[in-house]
């Protein structure tokens, strides 16, 4: 361990690239302002006021207001997809994996409500190129869900007549819509909400065999519940 007393005296902070932690703080502040005022009505000055930094210093981190919007949306997508990919590759049987996917989504969305809400409202404000990039991220998400439903069909646990592509899009919309009304300040815990989602989604796609195996449709609806908190 170096002896502090022997180190050369520093003149101010060393020169280096943007501090990632500070950048994270600034992006989070930008997200708050976008949520409150809307993206179009927000200026770079509003963001610098919120952070308590000189406006010019923000350009150390980004080139434009849209860079903030991109960073907010991109980060939440990347992290969500990373989360979901792990579940898709899990070794559980398909309905258990579907339940895990749904629970992971609800927990994640509850923990990242601001970024999710901004994505929902302000997506069209991104440049065409960036919209396309984010769309591909959304596509990865739907495909992960679709792969689970296809495995479920192969295992005879998901209704063979279900159009899995369309069902995956519908379920994604169903899950994402929680960001329009869910509040972490309410009495509903993410896992309680996940229990309801898991039960409704699983029974909405289950095959006859899956229902029989679970001991009926109502039993299947609670099979993967963690119980009320």
Nearest to 71 by CA among 19, 40, 29: 29
- Binding string to a second copy for residues 50 to 89, with x set by CB under 8 A, is what? ----------------------------------------
CA distance 197 to 163: 20
Site for a second copy in 196-215 (CB under 8 A): 196-197, 199-201, 203-208, 211
- Cβ proximity to a second copy: between 60 and 192 the closer is 192
Binding mask 84-123 for a second copy (x = CB under 8 A): ------------------------------------xx--
Q: Angle at the Cα of 177 (from 171 to 31), degrees rounded to 5?
A: 130
CA of residue 73 relative to chain centroid, distance: 9
Q: For 153-167, give the DSSP string.
A: HHTT-B-TTS-HHHH
Structure tokens that stand for 202 in this block:
């699983």
Would you tell me which residues interact with a second copy (CB under 8 A)? 38-41, 120-121, 124-125, 159, 161-163, 166-167, 169-170, 172-174, 176-178, 180-181, 188, 193, 196-197, 199-201, 203-208, 211, 216-218, 221-222
């Amino acid at each position: 361990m170096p002896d502090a007393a022997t180190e050369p005296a520093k003149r101010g902070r060393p020169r280096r690239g943007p501090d990632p932690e500070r950048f994270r703080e600034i992006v989070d502040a930008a997200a708050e302002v976008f949520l409150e005022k809307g993206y179009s009505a927000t200026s770079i000055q509003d963001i610098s006021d919120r952070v308590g930094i000189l406006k010019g210093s923000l350009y150390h981190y980004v080139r434009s207001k849209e860079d903030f919007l991109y960073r907010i949306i991109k980060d939440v997508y990347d992290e969500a997809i990373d989360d979901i990919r792990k579940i898709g590759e899990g070794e559980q049987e398909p309905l258990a994996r579907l339940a895990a996917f749904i629970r992971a989504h609800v927990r994640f969305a509850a923990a990242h409500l601001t970024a999710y809400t901004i994505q929902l409202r302000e997506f069209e404000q991104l440049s065409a190129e960036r919209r396309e990039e984010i769309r591909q991220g959304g596509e990865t998400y739907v495909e992960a869900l679709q792969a689970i439903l296809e495995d479920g069909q192969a295992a005879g646990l998901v209704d063979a007549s279900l159009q899995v592509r369309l069902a995956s899009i519908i379920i994604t919309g169903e899950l994402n819509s929680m960001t329009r009304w869910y509040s972490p300040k309410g009495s509903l815990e993410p896992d309680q909400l996940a229990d309801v989602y898991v039960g409704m989604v699983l029974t909405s796609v289950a095959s006859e065999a899956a229902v029989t195996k679970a001991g009926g449709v109502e039993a299947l609806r609670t099979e993967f519940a963690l119980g009320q908190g």
